[in-house]
Amino acid sequence: MTNPINLNSFRNFLKSETSGGIILIICVVVSLIIANSPLGPAFAALLDKVIGFKTDSVDLEYSIASWINDGLMAIFFLLVGLEIKRELVEGELSSIKQASLPILAALGGVIVPALIYHSFNIGLETDAGWAIPMATDIAFAVAIITMLGKNVPVSLKIFLAALAIVDDLMAILVIATFYSTSLEYTYLLYAAGFVVLLIIFNRLGVKNLAFYLIPGAFIWYFIHHSGIHATIAGVITAFTLPTTPDAKESPLEKLEHILINPVNFIIIPIFALANTNITFESGMVEGLFTPLGFGIILGLFIGKPVGIFLASWIAIKFGISKMPDRAHWIHILGVGMIAGIGFTMSIFISLLSFSNSAHLMSEAKFSILIGSLLSAIMGSLLLIMVTKKEKRIEETAS
């Protein structure tokens, strides 16, 4: 009798912090291959296929691409919202002293890339994409820094995770404020009514997740039709879920545990498959040297580390924050580079920025790919070199 298949290795892979990032990288590669193969047109047609239903009072008929970008990504933002609230209640953002460094660093890492992009594109139609290089991809960034293992102090991993979460919150606020169409106030009032209902459930101590998720689906529908991007509904719903600072699992933490694997292994990979399908054409490399390409690549690769480093230096120099344990300034620079991996959120913002121009959208996606790749490689190499140098110094001293 043959031995049953040993699934332990597969289970361990799924439980590891790097697995989501590895699967995401695979999906990016697969999407690029499909887009540049004979399957490309058929795949594009599939994404444009309209599914759902529509009546006189309900409109749920959208293309598959829209369901992915507006529907599935709302679940992604729900998870991000849960992570932000948990960090505010009991994590790295729960006190002013703990939160000050990642908050200020994230602020620097948002402002400087946006300014760099704007300086290249001021007065041009591409200036609409000013927010593209300000975002950090949590899944990719945390996966990369985790794969570096002992080359990075644990405190830096915590710093990067908190920074990326604050970064996402800022990106969410930017999307809600600057990338929304004309508002339908009736739908907004309906959505607000359901938000008030969720707050009441929270105050009454209701813990059944259905009492939050079902109204949350209505909030998504009404916000989608209000002109504000529907993914914001996920964050709003997340912030109404009850949580506690003690060890007992709260409804928020329960939902976070439920969502983390589907988001990392299904939703983000599907988003990558659907939105990284860049068809390589003649002139695309030249597009990297246009104001749009320069703005994105330099914003991610230069703006992110410079903004994070400067903001961190000011915060620590003036005693507002303290340096992460066992970290040095060169570590902060390396983490800043890895924060330049903007992939998922940057592509998402590019879809909102250039929804009327397939050419600009493709150019932006390719630039994001190059900027994120440069950030990942150079940031990783810098942190590895620093660690090796420190080890040589320790060996010489001993």
What tens digit of pLDDT does each residue of 36-61 get? 999 999 999 999 999 998 888 888 99
The CA distance from 79 to 20, in Å, is: 14
The pLDDT assigned to 11 comes to: 56
The CA distance from 140 to 343, in Å, is: 8
Q: Which residues of the chain have pLDDT under 50?
A: 1-6, 10, 13-14
List of residues 6+ apart from 50 with CB closer than 8 A:
61, 62, 63, 64
List of residues 6+ apart from 51 with CB closer than 8 A:
61, 62, 63, 64, 67
* DSSP 8-state secondary structure symbol assigned to residue 53: E
The pLDDT assigned to 142 comes to: 74
The pLDDT assigned to 13 comes to: 47
The pLDDT assigned to 181 comes to: 66
pTM value > 0.85: no
The pLDDT assigned to 2 comes to: 47
The pLDDT assigned to 9 comes to: 52
Q: Which of 295, 333, 298 is nearest to 313 (CA)?
A: 333
**DSSP per-residue string spanning 128-183:** GGTTGGG---HHHHHHHHHHTGGGS-HHHHHHHHHHHHHHHHHHHHHHHHHS--S-
The CA distance from 269 to 326, in Å, is: 34
